[in-house]
A and B are shown apart, each in its own frame.
Chain A
């Protein structure tokens, strides 16, 4: 039994998820409420199970996965984010026609996949986790199957995702072929034997390309705006948070643990992807009129900043990536929860930026919350979103990549424009038709908590969160 103790969170989720699937199958639509809340309970239970020694016991199953603090940190962000995606969906879908229990079950399975992703220390585990996560995500994207955009989003995501998986798999096969091992440690030893051979380099590039797709880093970002726009908003929120964390953390572990000796080889790729993501995310967002599309570009932009920390490598860089993703998830969850509240009088969701016009006059508190998230995503002090940006640039400067830091920070100014645009629409334009007022105390509370987290009060968390990320990053070195 002791062997399974480190896997407790995954076990809770997989067994619980299977049970919930059965419940869902037998209760049908009636059970959607029950299954949703049970799934939230499972995810929170799995988060609670992360506390304690077994969850960072180290390698398990012959070094197939490693249950270390790095993985636990990622899970501690992803599970609650997934739970919030379930809560947010509750009351968003039309209860009678669309919302059924499998939504929550799919998110739980996706969470299992992500959990394997962040703990994987073998290429097989990496691939299995990634596919488990992605398959659930493809279905979720087309969850509103009667809606054309949703179906299109699902299809697009699936086709492009399959292509990316193929690229990744090809990279894995190259790595295996040239080293004869699947484990990260074995790969590290192989890379350590001298300058990597051409085959290994190809493998490395293909694997990183596959992961860049999952993290929606430029130049593999094309699916992001369409899928984010088409998918139902709670699903978009989910895509923007947990799977993104999983992909970034997986890439971090792979780069640091498996390819650590070949840092110079992957660093240039990461630097390119980082800068390209920052600038494309910032510039392409300019003309957007749909808030979900805009947030999609914002997520591309933000992944770029996280990758600046990855490019810095070393414990400090890794720690800054973790810090960045933690704060990013809170900001994104908050922003999307606000988007979920954008409904017209009949309760239909609205997605245009223009509909936010004059919100500060009709709904001051709501507008203030969005403004806080926007300024925070833009990284303007005194909001907390400034600090993770500072951390990644600090890591880049400390490892001597001053030019990268300067280029990245110029990108924040370019990006600031479109976040400002939302604030401008809300505060400086004439009021548009007001939104319907919703009675959703749980969502309201979550928005409030997220807003407080990114407010200057968040700075009080720098100490505890910083030491946690330092320790988590330390488990990779």
Chain B
């Protein structure tokens, strides 16, 4: 059972449904566009859940494969493995929530807004499902256009600067990757991603190819020191924009490492493990410290995203099962939790129109439901056992420890600092005395807001209590990646070794 037999091009549908819905949105008024967007994203969610159910974890590596060759151009080649599947499900899950979050907070040019969101969903789905190098690039880069417009049109006061920064930063990262792709297509004489994943590029070339891809994914991820676009983009984007940016778009960077950098350039990857570890180490400590001193709630969460993404890079480049599976789970968990945290910020922002932490306080008195859910997501972000992030962060730290104990020591400080800034944030907002009358007068969550946050909370606990549902689909794919990396995986300094014994040492020294 590989899922091919059904004959229905499910993955194409996954891309076409939001695309059509997006076009349709342009032709209707605000209320119609909202409903079309909600229905479109719900259909996509249903379809992706169907894919999840139909996906056979023990089956072929690539399932639901479609191929429509275009002469001389890009092939419309789609197919997913477990890794792509999980990210597709995450995207499809967050999208209706984003639409719901924008239901009332977006007032102007609603049809356009919904159209861009749906277009973005189509492009993201395409990037995860693409099996042709250039098709991937087209989807990957195409996502810039709707996001640029979403930030620039519906963003906050500094929206223009943020939108430019977002666009040009990520574009600059990606164009170098394009040159590398051209070289790869020329050398390997194929543009098929599965074939390229098995192709052995000359070790000398791998170094450059790896760097070119790194330039793109590191910006997207984002890694220190090219993360500076992220706080701006996050703070200025509308709530739903931040959710999709943190929840899904950042995952394209991690996905890129798993899909391209590691399997295609194993030698290059090995060579740059120290670089990745150093950058990730700095990111964990530095951005956590920066997050501690933020006065703006969104900015704080944005910096925490950079810190969490560093766990992903640590885990991936540890090149062992725990590390890679952990990295994947961190990506999924962070997708849910950071999305939820941005929604939580959005909830109070919609009421008071400020993101200044000092303007809030003691919200647990007048908004108990909000305080409860915010607590859940704060704890998940800290990595409390039983929540999604614990599983991912723990595994990724175990993996890192196996590769390098020093890296693990630095990475673990991130957990402590993460607890510090998140708990302090929560304390300043929900506990303490109510300093501001207007904040004290805010209403608790509406039914719509419950509907947005509760499913994420459920997902967070599901992933924390029974992560097997999420690890099962990718287990074999991680295994395949590991066999590819077997030859190069770093030995590590933490493996148990047989002691030589004091006597033996003395004996040896006399010679």
Q: Is chain B found bound to chain A in the same assembly?
A: yes
Residues of chain A whose beta carbon lies under 8 Å from any beta carbon of chain B: 360-361, 364, 375, 380-382, 386-387, 390, 393-394, 397-398, 402, 405-406, 409-410, 412-413, 416-417, 420, 423-424, 427-428, 456, 459-460, 462-464, 466-467
Q: Is the C-beta of B141 less than 8 angstroms from some C-beta in chain A?
A: yes
Name the residue on A nearest B171 (C-beta).
A413
Given A459-B70, A466-B73, A405 and B179 touching (CB < 8 A)? yes
Do B179 and A409 touch (CB < 8 A)? yes
Q: Is the C-beta of B367 less than 8 angstroms from some C-beta in chain A?
A: no
Q: Please count the residue pairs between chain A and chain B whose beta carbons lie under 8 angstroms apart in the complex.
A: 100
Contacts of A380 in B (CB 8 A): 141-142, 144-145, 171
Contacts of B186 in A (CB 8 A): 394, 397-398
Q: Is the C-beta of B159 less than 8 angstroms from some C-beta in chain A?
A: yes
Contacts of B466 in A (CB 8 A): none
Given A462-B74, A463-B70, A390 and B178 touching (CB < 8 A)? yes
Do B183 and A402 touch (CB < 8 A)? yes
Which B141-155 residues have C-beta < 8 A from chain A?
A: 141-142, 144-145, 148-149, 152-153
Among the stretches B46-54, B162-170, B268-276, the one at the interface with A is B162-170
Q: List 21 A-B contacts (CB under 8 A).
A: A364-B112, A381-B142, A382-B141, A390-B134, A390-B178, A406-B176, A409-B178, A409-B179, A410-B172, A410-B175, A413-B175, A416-B168, A417-B164, A424-B164, A428-B153, A428-B163, A456-B138, A459-B73, A462-B71, A466-B71, A466-B72
Minimum C-beta distance from B363 to chain A (A):
33
Do A361 and B71 touch (CB < 8 A)? no
Do B164 and A463 touch (CB < 8 A)? no
Do A427 and B145 touch (CB < 8 A)? no
Minimum C-beta distance from B134 to chain A (A):
7
Minimum C-beta distance from B300 to chain A (A):
26
**With A and B bound together, what is the CA distance between A313 and B109 in angstroms?**
49
Minimum C-beta distance from A324 to chain B (A):
15
**With A and B bound together, what is the CA distance between A23 and B360 in angstroms?**
81
**With A and B bound together, what is the CA distance between A387 and B134 in angstroms?**
10
Do B175 and A381 touch (CB < 8 A)? no
Contacts of B71 in A (CB 8 A): 462-464, 466-467
Contacts of B153 in A (CB 8 A): 427-428
Given A393-B182, A409-B176, A467 and B159 touching (CB < 8 A)? no
Do A459 and B182 touch (CB < 8 A)? no
Do B182 and A427 touch (CB < 8 A)? no
Q: 5 closest pairs, A vs B, by CB?
A: A462-B73, A463-B71, A466-B72, A381-B138, A382-B142
Q: Pick the contact of B159: A364, A397, A423, A428 (CB < 8 A).
A: A428
Which B111-127 residues have C-beta < 8 A from chain A?
A: 112, 123
Do B179 and A402 touch (CB < 8 A)? yes
Residue total for B at the interface (Cβ-Cβ under 8 A) = 37
Given A382-B138, A417-B168, A397 and B175 touching (CB < 8 A)? no
Do A406 and B73 touch (CB < 8 A)? no
Q: Pick the contact of A427: B123, B152, B168, B178 (CB < 8 A).
A: B152
Contacts of B26 in A (CB 8 A): 364
Q: A427-B152, A428-B163, A459-B73 are in contact. List 9 more A-B contacts (CB 8 A).
A: A381-B137, A394-B185, A397-B182, A409-B175, A413-B168, A416-B171, A424-B163, A427-B153, A463-B72
Contacts of A464 in B (CB 8 A): 71
Minimum C-beta distance from B377 to chain A (A):
32
0/1 interface trace, chain B 174-193, chain A, CB 8 Å (1 if under): 01101100110110000000
Q: Is the contact region of chain B dominated by helix, strand, or loop, or is it mixed?
A: helix
Contacts of A420 in B (CB 8 A): 148, 164, 167-168
Do B72 and A428 touch (CB < 8 A)? no
Minimum C-beta distance from B456 to chain A (A):
30
Name the residue on B nearest A413 (C-beta).
B172
Given A382-B142, A406-B176, A428-B163, A390 and B182 touching (CB < 8 A)? yes
Do B182 and A462 touch (CB < 8 A)? no
**With A and B bound together, what is the CA distance between A417 and B168 in angstroms?**
7
Do A382 and B175 touch (CB < 8 A)? no
Interface hub of A360, A393, A420, A460 (most chain B Cβ within 10 A): A420
Minimum C-beta distance from A357 to chain B (A):
13
Name the residue on A nearest B184 (C-beta).
A397
Contacts of A428 in B (CB 8 A): 152-153, 159-160, 163
Name the residue on A nearest B154 (C-beta).
A428
Do B159 and A393 touch (CB < 8 A)? no
Given A361-B109, A406-B176, A459 and B74 touching (CB < 8 A)? yes
Contacts of A424 in B (CB 8 A): 152, 160, 163-164
Name the residue on A nearest B139 (C-beta).
A382
**With A and B bound together, what is the CA distance between A459 and B134 in angstroms?**
12
Contacts of A466 in B (CB 8 A): 71-73
Contacts of B172 in A (CB 8 A): 410, 413
Name the residue on A nearest B178 (C-beta).
A409
Contacts of A410 in B (CB 8 A): 172, 175
Minimum C-beta distance from B37 to chain A (A):
17
**With A and B bound together, what is the CA distance between A456 and B135 in angstroms?**
11
Contacts of B134 in A (CB 8 A): 390
**With A and B bound together, what is the CA distance between A459 and B167 in angstroms?**
23
**With A and B bound together, what is the CA distance between A380 and B171 in angstroms?**
9
Do B141 and A416 touch (CB < 8 A)? no
Contacts of A360 in B (CB 8 A): 109, 112
Q: Pick the contact of B73: A398, A427, A463 (CB < 8 A).
A: A463
Do B182 and A460 touch (CB < 8 A)? no
Minimum C-beta distance from B183 to chain A (A):
5
Do B137 and A416 touch (CB < 8 A)? no
Do B70 and A460 touch (CB < 8 A)? yes
**With A and B bound together, what is the CA distance between A386 and B73 in angstroms?**
12
**With A and B bound together, what is the CA distance between A192 and B142 in angstroms?**
47
Contacts of A394 in B (CB 8 A): 182, 185-186
Contacts of A463 in B (CB 8 A): 70-73
**With A and B bound together, what is the CA distance between A423 and B167 in angstroms?**
12
**With A and B bound together, what is the CA distance between A428 and B116 in angstroms?**
14
Minimum C-beta distance from A214 to chain B (A):
30
**With A and B bound together, what is the CA distance between A42 and B50 in angstroms?**
58
**With A and B bound together, what is the CA distance between A386 and B134 in angstroms?**
11
0/1 interface trace, chain B 241-255, chain A, CB 8 Å (1 if under): 000000000000000
Do B123 and A382 touch (CB < 8 A)? yes
Contacts of B179 in A (CB 8 A): 393, 397, 402, 405-406, 409
Name the residue on A nearest B155 (C-beta).
A428
Contacts of A361 in B (CB 8 A): 109
Contacts of A406 in B (CB 8 A): 176, 179
**With A and B bound together, what is the CA distance between A427 and B112 in angstroms?**
10
**With A and B bound together, what is the CA distance between A456 and B70 in angstroms?**
13
**With A and B bound together, what is the CA distance between A406 and B180 in angstroms?**
9
Contacts of B138 in A (CB 8 A): 381-382, 386, 456
Minimum C-beta distance from A427 to chain B (A):
6
**With A and B bound together, what is the CA distance between A381 and B159 in angstroms?**
23
Name the residue on A nearest B142 (C-beta).
A382
